Amino acid sequence: MKSSFNEIIKDDKPVLVDFYADWCGPCKTLAPILQETKAELGDDVKIVKIDVDKNQELSEKYQVRGVPTLILFKNGQQLWRQSGVVQKSALVQLLRSHQ
């Protein structure tokens, strides 16, 4: 998983990574927001979901302390991060600003 994750975040398109857990209520709230964001932006952005319980090493590497945590990467660089639910309009604006 780790090597393919590193390849994914090196994309020249924005890559939004959602660190989540199945037991997390706010993560369930965020899921349809991410789907709507992807539907609006299409292939201009990648959205990747990482289960923190199944990918503890990756979660530790990026110091994910709470879920959901969103981290935006482009060309392998971390550009933005936030924990908690983010509204679709804010995500769309953020992702468009990094295209």
Listed in order, strand segments (DSSP E) in 1-99 are: 15-20, 46-51, 69-74, 77-83
Burial degree of 67 (CB within 10 A; 0-12, 13-18, 19+):
buried
Catalytic residue flag (residue 7): no
| Active-site residue, from 15, 16, 21, 27 | 27
Catalytic residue flag (residue 84): no
| Active-site residue, from 24, 79, 85, 92 | 24
Enzyme catalytic residues: 24, 27
